[in-house]
């Protein structure tokens, strides 16, 4: 049976895991992951939860592999990107409102000072 060369990659917060090995050409993504032994090394990987991809492209566990493929096991996101954008937009809006209020106060103080100066010059 024909053999192909593949890699398994898993990014950790401060390092990464990369293993190169050969498998049968008919091997699926899931079978390659199981054969790699990575699940024994990293108990936090759950193939029901963790998404997988090949070179950044999402794939199914039942997909086949090609010579040179790098299977990537993705960790769950720590925060929802939409929620982060929403919070950032709210903060920016709040900062803009605070800046507008500050400018209005400064303008009011400037007008009051001008009134006082006009009163003193008469």
- pLDDT, tens digit, 9 for 90 and up, residues 28-54: 999 999 999 999 999 999 999 999 999
pLDDT tens digit string along 68-80? 999 999 998 767 7
What's the average model confidence in pLDDT over 96-116?
A: 90
Q: Tell whether the model's pLDDT for residue 122 goes beyond 70.
A: no
Residue-level pLDDT at 120: 63
Q: What one-character DSSP code corresponds to residue 28?
A: B
CA–CA separation, 109 and 121 (whole Å): 18
Phi-psi region of 26 (alpha: psi -120 to 50; beta: other; left: phi over 0): alpha
Q: Pseudo-torsion of CA 12, 3, 26, 63, nearest 10°?
A: 30
Average pLDDT over residues 11-19: 92
CA-to-CA distance for 101 and 112, rounded, in angstroms? 16
């Amino acid at each position: 049976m024909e053999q192909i060369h593949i890699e398994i990659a898993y990014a950790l917060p401060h390092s990464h895991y990369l293993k190169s090995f050969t498998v049968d050409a008919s091997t699926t993504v899931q079978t390659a992951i199981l054969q790699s032994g990575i699940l024994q090394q990293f108990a936090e990987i759950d193939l029901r939860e963790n998404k997988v991809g090949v070179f950044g492209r999402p794939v199914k566990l039942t997909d086949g592999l090609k010579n040179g493929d790098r299977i990537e096991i993705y960790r769950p996101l720590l925060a929802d990107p939409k929620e982060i954008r929403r919070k950032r937009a709210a903060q920016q809006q709040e900062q803009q409102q605070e800046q507008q209020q500050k400018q209005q106060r400064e303008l009011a103080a400037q007008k009051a000072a001008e009134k006082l100066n006009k009163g003193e010059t008469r």
